[in-house]
Structure 1
Amino acid sequence: MTETAAPPAPAGRARPAAMPGLPYFGGIARMRKDPIAYLSEASRRGPVVRLGRIGRRSYYQVNDPDLVRTVMTAPYADIGMTRTNDVLGTLFGESVFTMQGEVWRKRRDELQPAFRTSNLPELFGSAADEIDRTVSRLAPIAEARGSVDCSAALLDLLQRMIVRMMFGVAVPETAAQLTRAFDYGLEYRQRRRWAPAGLPRWFPTPASRLFDDGVARLNASITEIIDDHRAHPPERAGLLRMLMECRDEETGAGWTDDELLAEVKTTFVAGWLTTATAAVWLFDLLGRHPRITAHVVDELDRLPSDRPLRYEDLHTLEYTEDTILEAIRLFPPGWLLSRRVRRTYTLGGHRLGRDTVLLVSPYALHRDPAHWTEPERFDPGRFRHGTHGEAHRAAYLPFGYGPRVCIGRGVAMMELKLIVATLLRRFRFTLADTAPARLQPVSFLRRADPLVLGVAPR
Structure 2
Amino acid sequence: MTEAAAPSAPAAPGRPAAMPGLPYFGGIVRMKKDPIAYLGEASRKGPVVLLGRLGRRAFYQVNDPDLVRSVMTAPRADVGMTRTSDVLGILFGESVFTMQDEPWRKRRDELQPAFRTSNLPELFGSAAGEIERTVDRFQAVADARGSVDCSAALLDLLQRMIVRMMFGVAVPETAEHLTRAFDYGLEYRQRRRWSLAGLPLWFPTPANRRFNDGVARLNASIVEIIEDHRAHPPERAGLLTMLMECRDEKTGAGWSDDELLAEVKTTFVAGWLTTTTAATWLFDLLGRHPGITDRVVAELDALPADRPLGYDDLHRLEYTEDTILEAMRLFPPGWLLSRRVRRPYTLGGLRLDDNAVLLVSPYALHRDPAHWREPQRFDPDRFRDSTHGEAHKAAFLPFGYGPRVCIGRGVAMMELKMIVATLLRRFRFTLADPAPATLQPVSFLRRAEPLVLDIAPR
Q: CA deviation at 1:213?
A: 1.2
In the alignment, what sits opposite 1:433?
Answer: 433
In the alignment, what sits opposite 1:125?
Answer: 125
Q: CA deviation at 1:85?
A: 3.7
Matched, 1:411 2:447: no
SS at match of 1:335: coil
Q: What code does the residue aligned with 2:298 have?
A: D
In the alignment, what sits opposite 1:249?
Answer: 249
In the alignment, what sits opposite 1:4?
Answer: none
Q: CA deviation at 1:160?
A: 0.3
In the alignment, what sits opposite 2:361?
Answer: 361
In the alignment, what sits opposite 1:285?
Answer: 285
Q: CA deviation at 1:82?
A: 1.5
In the alignment, what sits opposite 1:335?
Answer: 335
Q: CA deviation at 1:364?
A: 0.1
Q: CA deviation at 1:11?
A: 5.6
In the alignment, what sits opposite 1:27?
Answer: 27
Q: CA deviation at 1:191?
A: 1.2
Alignment partners' CA distance in 2, 1:60 and 1:316: 42
Check the 8 A contact 2:47/2:64 in 1, yes or no: yes
Any idea what the Cα deviations from partners look like across 1:69-97, whole Å, max 9, x if unmatched?
Answer: 00000011100012564211211111001
Alignment partners' CA distance in 2, 1:265 and 1:47: 36
Residue identity over aligned pairs, in percent, reads 84
Alignment partners' CA distance in 1, 2:455 and 2:72: 42
Alignment partners' CA distance in 2, 1:197 and 1:353: 22
Higher mean C-alpha deviation, range 81-90 or range 104-113: 81-90
Alignment partners' CA distance in 1, 2:242 and 2:312: 21
Any idea what the Cα deviations from partners look like across 1:340-363, whole Å, max 9, x if unmatched?
Answer: 000111111111111000000000
Check the 8 A contact 1:280/1:451 in 2, yes or no: yes
Matched, 1:107 2:119: no
Change (3 A) 1:84 1:444: farther
Q: CA deviation at 1:9?
A: 6.4
Structure 2 runs not aligned, ≥5 long: 1-7
Check the 8 A contact 1:167/1:240 in 2, yes or no: yes
In the alignment, what sits opposite 2:275?
Answer: 275
SS at match of 1:403: helix
Check the 8 A contact 2:9/2:67 in 1, yes or no: no
Q: What code does the residue aligned with 1:312 have?
A: D
Check the 8 A contact 2:439/2:447 in 1, yes or no: yes
Alignment partners' CA distance in 1, 2:244 and 2:11: 53
Over the residues paired in the alignment, what is the CA RMSD in angstroms?
1.3
Check the 8 A contact 2:244/2:260 in 1, yes or no: yes
Q: CA deviation at 1:13?
A: 3.4
Matched, 1:205 2:175: no
Change (3 A) 1:83 1:318: closer
SS at match of 2:86: helix
Change (3 A) 1:276 1:50: same
Check the 8 A contact 2:277/2:445 in 1, yes or no: yes
Change (3 A) 1:152 1:11: closer
Check the 8 A contact 1:271/1:412 in 2, yes or no: yes
Matched, 1:17 2:29: no
Change (3 A) 1:77 1:288: same
Alignment partners' CA distance in 2, 1:173 and 1:381: 42
SS at match of 2:216: helix
Check the 8 A contact 1:55/1:197 in 2, yes or no: no
Alignment partners' CA distance in 1, 2:130 and 2:149: 18
Moved over 3 A (4+): 8-13
User: So what's the TM-score if we normalise by structure 2?
Assistant: 0.96
Check the 8 A contact 2:84/2:98 in 1, yes or no: no
SS at match of 1:428: strand
Any idea what the Cα deviations from partners look like across 1:315-367, whole Å, max 9, x if unmatched?
Answer: 00000000000000000000000000001111111111110000000000000
In the alignment, what sits opposite 1:137?
Answer: 137
In the alignment, what sits opposite 1:3?
Answer: none
Q: CA deviation at 1:55?
A: 2.2
Higher mean C-alpha deviation, range 194-203 or range 73-82: 194-203
In the alignment, what sits opposite 1:5?
Answer: none
Q: What code does the residue aligned with 1:134 have?
A: T
Alignment partners' CA distance in 1, 2:84 and 2:258: 21
Structure 1 runs not aligned, ≥5 long: 1-7
Alignment partners' CA distance in 2, 1:217 and 1:141: 36
Q: What code does the residue aligned with 1:68 have?
A: V
Q: What code does the residue aligned with 1:310 have?
A: G
Q: CA deviation at 1:391?
A: 3.2
Check the 8 A contact 1:383/1:389 in 2, yes or no: no
Alignment partners' CA distance in 2, 1:233 and 1:442: 37
Check the 8 A contact 2:48/2:64 in 1, yes or no: yes
SS at match of 1:49: strand
Q: What code does the residue aligned with 2:68 have?
A: V
In the alignment, what sits opposite 2:375?
Answer: 375
Change (3 A) 1:12 1:94: closer
Q: CA deviation at 1:310?
A: 0.2
Q: CA deviation at 1:209?
A: 1.1
Which residues of 2 match residues 121-270 of structure 1 at below 5 A? 121-270=121-270
Q: How many residues align structurally?
A: 450
Check the 8 A contact 2:92/2:98 in 1, yes or no: yes
User: So what's the TM-score if we normalise by structure 1?
Assistant: 0.96
Alignment partners' CA distance in 1, 2:165 and 2:385: 31
Check the 8 A contact 2:373/2:389 in 1, yes or no: no
Check the 8 A contact 1:126/1:164 in 2, yes or no: yes
Q: CA deviation at 1:10?
A: 4.9
Check the 8 A contact 1:131/1:157 in 2, yes or no: yes
Alignment partners' CA distance in 2, 1:199 and 1:138: 46
Q: What code does the residue aligned with 1:307 have?
A: R
Alignment partners' CA distance in 1, 2:85 and 2:279: 27
Alignment partners' CA distance in 2, 1:389 and 1:421: 29
Q: CA deviation at 1:56?
A: 2.0
Alignment partners' CA distance in 2, 1:11 and 1:76: 23
Alignment partners' CA distance in 2, 1:349 and 1:95: 34
Any idea what the Cα deviations from partners look like across 1:33-72, whole Å, max 9, x if unmatched?
Answer: 1100000111011100111112221000000000000000
SS at match of 1:255: coil
Alignment partners' CA distance in 2, 1:11 and 1:315: 42
Higher mean C-alpha deviation, range 368-377 or range 186-195: 186-195
Q: CA deviation at 1:369?
A: 0.1
Change (3 A) 1:227 1:60: same
